[in-house]
């Protein structure tokens, strides 16, 4: 079969399910992965033949796209903060908002890197490892640890650390059941589950049906459960002047600010994402020395 035929069949089959630009983008992503051909190469070689095996891969991907499986899970990888990451159904697909959180942390610590006094970072609920690994990569003089409740997620995170050539101290822990953490840190970061059950109806099928529920959702009654637990642990496990960073639910910035103030945190700062939504927060325990 010719590429041009494969492409037109692909578009026809998925046209009612996704907007046409999205179908086009799926085709390009799959061609890059399965045929090793860029969008331009395809446009220039419409008559190039696709083998039966290659065609079969596309047909399998179509079946998965029909049930709204995210393209990142189909090809098993994605990009975050300019780095490659493996993902599967045990890990959330890294979001652009989270890149903004990493950028915020990076901009604060990139000029404080010292080989003598390595800064200690901890990422709680690491999933694919995207936060921990990008910080370790771009802040090479820091020591990064990361935990997750799920062994399956930690396996992927470990592979991602190897692929990106960074060393992370990964460990398994249920943060909600944790009484302590292994040591003290200069920076504790978390992007915990924060989507309330009541917000589920605003979510897309690809997220609802395929991404790990345990990484996304919290009950309506206590949506700040993870934040409360983590901030209490952080009080005992942050070094003096240590900082806490969270990704947050855009609707809960006030409640969370109150909670952190109540726990004794200072310099609480909320930051918006590129869509203008309250998406990140940072704070510390001590007032900086004047």
Token pair listed for 147: 């935990």
Note whether 175 binds ligand GLN by CB under 6 A. Answer: no
Shortest separation between residue 193's beta carbon and ligand GLN, angstroms: 5
Q: Is residue 224 a contact partner of residue 196, using CB atoms and an 8 Å limit?
A: no
Choice between 193 and 242, CB closer to ligand GLN? 193
Note whether 195 binds ligand GLN by CB under 6 A. Answer: yes
How many CA atoms lie within 13 Å of 67's alpha carbon, on the beta-carbon side?
10
Note whether 184 binds ligand GLN by CB under 6 A. Answer: no
Reduced to 3 states (helix: H, G, I; strand: E, B; else coil), residue 236 is helix
Note whether 207 binds ligand GLN by CB under 6 A. Answer: yes
Note whether 216 binds ligand GLN by CB under 6 A. Answer: yes
Note whether 194 binds ligand GLN by CB under 6 A. Answer: yes
Note whether 95 binds ligand GLN by CB under 6 A. Answer: yes
Which residue from 129, 193, 212, 242 is in contact with ligand GLN, where contact means CB under 6 A? 193
How far is C-alpha 260 from the geometric centre of its chain's CA atoms?
23
Q: How many residues bind ligand GLN (CB under 6 A)?
A: 10
Task: Give the list of residues 6+ apart from residue 106 with CB closer than 8 angstroms, or none.
Answer: 134, 135, 138, 139
Ranges of beta strands (E only) in 103-218 are: 119-124, 142-148, 168-172, 185-190, 195-196, 217-218
Pairing of strands 278-284, 238-247: antiparallel
Choose among 288, 289, 190, 290: nearest CA to 237.
190
**Torsions phi, psi for 271 (to 5 deg):** -130, 140
Site for ligand GLN in 244-263 (CB under 6 A): 247
Interaction pattern, residues 128-167, with ligand GLN; x per rule: CB under 6 A = ----------------------------------------
Choice between 78 and 120, CB closer to ligand GLN? 78
Which residue from 41, 97, 255, 263 is in contact with ligand GLN, where contact means CB under 6 A? 97
Note whether 225 binds ligand GLN by CB under 6 A. Answer: no
Residues of the shown chain interacting with ligand GLN in the complex, contacts defined by CB under 6 A: 95, 97, 191-195, 207, 216, 247
């Amino acid at each position: 079969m010719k590429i041009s035929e494969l492409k037109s069949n692909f578009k026809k089959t998925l046209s009612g399910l996704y907007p046409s630009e999205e179908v086009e983008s799926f085709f390009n992503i799959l061609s890059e992965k399965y045929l090793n051909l860029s969008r331009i190469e395809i446009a220039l070689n419409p008559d190039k033949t696709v083998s039966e095996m290659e065609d079969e891969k596309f047909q399998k991907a179509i079946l998965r796209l029909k049930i709204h499986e995210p393209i990142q899970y189909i090809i098993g990888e994605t990009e975050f903060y300019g780095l490659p990451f493996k993902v599967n159904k045990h890990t959330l697909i890294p979001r652009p908002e989270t890149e903004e959180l990493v950028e915020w942390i990076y901009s604060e610590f990139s000029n404080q890197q010292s080989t003598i006094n390595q800064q200690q970072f901890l990422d709680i609920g690491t999933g694919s490892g995207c936060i921990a690994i990008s910080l370790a990569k771009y802040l090479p003089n820091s020591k990064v640890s990361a935990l997750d409740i799920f062994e399956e997620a930690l396996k992927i995170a470990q592979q991602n650390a190897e692929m990106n050539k960074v060393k992370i101290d990964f460990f398994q822990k249920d943060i909600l059941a944790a009484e302590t953490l292994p040591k003290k840190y200069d920076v504790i970061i978390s992007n915990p589950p924060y989507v309330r059950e009541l917000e589920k109806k605003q979510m897309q099928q690809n997220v609802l049906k395929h991404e790990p529920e345990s990484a996304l959702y919290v009950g309506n009654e206590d949506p700040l459960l993870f934040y409360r637990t983590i901030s209490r642990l952080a009080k005992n496990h942050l070094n003096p002047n240590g900082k806490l960073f969270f990704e947050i639910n855009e609707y809960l910035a006030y409640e969370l600010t109150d909670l952190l103030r109540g726990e004794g945190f200072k310099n609480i700062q909320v930051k918006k994402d590129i869509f203008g939504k309250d998406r990140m927060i940072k704070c510390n325990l001590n007032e900086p020395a004047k």
